[in-house]
Structure 1
Amino acid sequence: MDKKELIDKISDEIISKLKKTSSSDNLSFKSDLGNKNIQGSSVGCNIQINTPADLAPYIDHTLLKPDATEAQVKKLCEEAVQYGFCTVCVNSSWVSYCAKKLRGSGVKVCAVVGFPLGATDSRTKAYETRNAIENGAGEIDTVINVGALRNGDLKTVEADLRAVFTACRKTTITKAIIETCLLSDEEKVIASQLVKKVGFDFVKTSTGFSTAGATAHDVALIRRTVGPKMGIKAAGGIRTYEDALLMIHSGATRLGCSASVKIVSV
């Protein structure tokens, strides 16, 4: 049995188990991306990568370091415009600044919420979400309540996700970070199904601030879980063109990278 067959077998068994034991939670359903302008939202779109530059529209150019300076954030925005990256992904305090720098460029601002631990109160996450959107964020990456998930408290996880989702506008692209490196395969499947159930546009693998980042195994498992129409963002540890291609081939439709320029300039 090869790796793909093993992943398929594991995810099928877990999903089957969930359907039998958690039918009241209604974890399986069809995703509807509506009229949102989501680049790389579906494996069905047949992403064609012929050159490194072809990756640019699928990259969130990322700077989330707590000591990021204005000069570094300014450079981030300039690079995003120059290379045609999908968004700049920044902490909430930089959203307004980036929105002004990027106005009219076609590059959106992605704000992280509850970052990087996901352990803040749901009301705080909702406020942070509304504030980021008011300041110009077009995309929101929120961290799930990982502790509640590991404790089996799915109602709390879902309520936390829903608080952020409800705070978003209809046009806001929503991503939920499940922090795969802290979860078992079964927990990854459960988390992905909850994210899909609430209505998020993407499952995101990692914050990049924990013990490990995205892996091909996890991306493939999430893809098998959520189906072909939902977005998957791989983030954390994607430093080369080869890394990026591996994630795309495994099922990712968006990449979170700080080494974006290096990746597309090979």
Structure 2
Amino acid sequence: MTTRYTDEEWTLIVRDAEARVNVPRQRFPYPGISRREFARLFDHTLLKPEASPKQIDQHCSEARQWGFSTVTVRAFYARRAIANLRGSAIRVASVVGFHARDEEQDLFKSLKEAHRAYAAGACEISLLLSSPLLHTQHYDAIYAVLAVLRSLCPRPVVLKLVLDTATLREADVVAACVLARASRFDMVEASGVAFDGREAVQASEYDIRLVKGCAVAAEEEELDWRGLDERKRRLGPGCEMGGGGSGGGHQRSDSGESHGSSSTSEQDEVGDGGYGLGGNDDWGLGQAFIHRVRHASQRASLQYRQKASSRTRPTDVKASGAIRNLGDAVRCLEAGATRLGTSSAVAIMKEAQERVDRVGDVDTWVKRGLERDMGWRNSRMTRYGANTPVDTREPALARRSSAGWYTDF
């Protein structure tokens, strides 16, 4: 299978993405939500290889009781989980690529495992991406695997790319997000769970924010590049990227095979993910054209922009790994995560319920969390004194504690 870019071209695309990504520093406020909506943020996970069928049944029963978003199990238990959850709104998710150490990961075996889970009826599939493969910058091979997986498991199946962020550099995380977006994956998961014998750690807030920044940058650029494609069509074939001649393609230096200007069905399906290149554009020769028409592309009609934006879905951010209590969950959500994967979802929900039952302790807990995380303990005590009355609290804190999800349980 030939892919649209060489490793060198992918490297240029990744560098361009790095220049555009801004790691958000603000906290992402999660809205006031009910107990049911809070439970829908969790993927109830059981990935132990030694898990028994009885444990799978119990896991599904807990998911029914609390109303979690998914039950995440290994592929060989997907069919059993589906049978347990039949008739409910809870989806079954499966993981692939977790069967070996990172350096021994067999991507072809992962593809077969993913197809087996899809055939069993899994609605969401998570692929663990090998860290050594990212370190060596074999982007061409990675993209080929991700694109094949997307074709094997078409939408509405949700595909997640799992990154062991504890072993990745910042550039590797950006590259993985670029490849996931280009391959039309639905979610990138920042995980501290190690499957090579190391102790599991929680994904850092910075890693979650970095993945969130990549997703935001891609969404911001999506309309501009869709407008660029429209501008190219209006200008005609003589203005296509790729330099001299009407071919407009680029040469693969390793094989000499020429890729023409007409797009294939695979390219239409997988696309460029909003990272700045069309299916057959030569990055080096197309720079002048990009700068010349980019401003004009921003003036595309609102109708076209709305139509273009509907062709893709935003890349969500999931956090997993050592999320064991309510404080861990809140920190991940405020860092930008939209989904949480943990085997402690039941314990977290019970802790949240207990804190809401003790009404007097809710404000204290929220207040302490904000003071620690936002660093305004000293300034607040200076302004209001050590014993601050309830009426003089920060307005944002008062609104949050009165209208947040805590009081809706």
Q: In which range does the TM-score fall when normalised by the shorter chain? A: 0.7 to 0.9
Using the alignment, how far apart are the partners of 1:160 and 1:204 within structure 2?
17
Using the alignment, how far apart are the partners of 1:164 and 1:217 within structure 2?
29
The answer as to whether partners of 2:39 and 2:67 remain within 8 angstroms in 1 is yes
- Residue of structure 1 in register with 2:342 after alignment: 257
- Residue of structure 2 in register with 1:195 after alignment: 180
| Code of the aligned partner of 1:55 | F
Residue 153 of structure 1: how far off its partner (Å):
1.3
Cα gap change, 1:69 to 1:263, in 2 (>3 Å): same
Per the alignment, in what secondary structure is the counterpart of residue 40 of structure 2? helix
Larger CA deviation: 121-130 vs 188-197: 121-130
Cα gap change, 1:242 to 1:124, in 2 (>3 Å): same
Aligned-CA RMSD value: 2.6
- Residue of structure 2 in register with 1:100 after alignment: 83
- Residue of structure 1 in register with 2:208 after alignment: 219
- Residue of structure 2 in register with 1:39 after alignment: none
Per the alignment, in what secondary structure is the counterpart of residue 218 of structure 1? helix
Please state if 1:151 is matched with 2:136: yes
The answer as to whether partners of 1:53 and 1:264 remain within 8 angstroms in 2 is no
Q: Which runs of 5+ in 1 are unaligned?
A: 1-17, 29-44
| Code of the aligned partner of 2:340 | L
Please state if 1:70 is matched with 2:53: yes
| TM-score, structure 1 normalization | 0.80
The answer as to whether partners of 2:46 and 2:343 remain within 8 angstroms in 1 is yes
Using the alignment, how far apart are the partners of 1:20 and 1:128 within structure 2?
27
| Code of the aligned partner of 1:59 | F
- Residue of structure 1 in register with 2:120 after alignment: 135
Structure with higher Rg: it is: 2
- Residue of structure 2 in register with 1:59 after alignment: 42
Per the alignment, in what secondary structure is the counterpart of residue 121 of structure 2? coil
* Structure with the larger RCO, 1 or 2 (CA within 8 Å, 6+ apart): 1
Residue 158 of structure 1: how far off its partner (Å):
1.4
The answer as to whether partners of 1:145 and 1:157 remain within 8 angstroms in 2 is no
* Of 57, 66, 69, the match for 1:83: 66
Using the alignment, how far apart are the partners of 1:21 and 1:173 within structure 2?
27
Cα gap change, 1:110 to 1:20, in 2 (>3 Å): closer
* Of 145, 155, 163, the match for 1:170: 155
Q: Which runs of 5+ in 2 are unaligned?
A: 1-7, 19-27, 220-313, 352-409
Cα gap change, 1:127 to 1:26, in 2 (>3 Å): farther
Residue 25 of structure 1: how far off its partner (Å):
9.4
Using the alignment, how far apart are the partners of 1:246 and 1:52 within structure 2?
18
Using the alignment, how far apart are the partners of 1:177 and 1:239 within structure 2?
19
| Code of the aligned partner of 1:22 | L
Residue 81 of structure 1: how far off its partner (Å):
0.7
- Residue of structure 1 in register with 2:12 after alignment: 22
CA distances 1:181-209 after superposition (whole Å, capped 9, x unpaired): 11011211111121111110000112623
Residue 144 of structure 1: how far off its partner (Å):
1.3
Identity of aligned residues (%): 30
- Residue of structure 2 in register with 1:7 after alignment: none
Larger CA deviation: 52-61 vs 146-155: 52-61
Larger CA deviation: 245-254 vs 47-56: 47-56
